[in-house]
Amino acid sequence: MDVTSTPYAEGRILEFEKEERIATHLLESFPYDGPRQKILYETREFSAVCPYSGLPDYAYLAIEYIPDRAVVELKSLKYYIVSFRNVGIYQEHATKRLYNDLSALLKPSSLCVKTVYNTRGGIDATCEIRSDAQQPRSHGPDGG
């Protein structure tokens, strides 16, 4: 390999789908009529594609909500989450899209969507949107 020549990967971007390919239509819910309870769904299998590089972003995803009248059906949620896999969407926008879609479907009493992305370029990225007044906390090295 000639180290003075331009690398093959330099400037290349892998192909990805547009945001319209996110399968919101797959989301289903069922009626809930019970006591106030917190529901938490977690997965370490969330992925989407960085539209800048075309490379995959992997994240831990947490969806926490208090239902009002509906609960999301888990199989439909899994298919919906997997539909992000080949979509080019920035991390912050993916979190917002998850939040908006689930909020529209469920109309919950409260909702929090949090994504914790794998380290990239030495930077850790955590995105969180909450429906309540509580603000996200900083998790710096000093704990504050």
2, 33, 50, 112: the active-site residue? 50
Residue 50 known to be catalytic: yes
Q: Which of 62, 73, 70, 54 is nearest to 9 (CA)?
A: 54
57, 101, 132, 142: the active-site residue? 57
Say which residues have a Cβ less than 8 Å from residue 10's Cβ, sequence separation at least 6.
none
Residue 132 known to be catalytic: no
- Beta pairing partners, 27: none
Question: 């794998």: which residue's tokens?
Answer: 118
Residue 86 to residue 55: CA distance in whole angstroms: 10
Report the b/e string of 36-65 with b at 16+ CB within 10 A: eeeeeeeeeebbbbbeeeeeebebebbbbb
Instruction: Return the active site residues.
Output: 50, 57
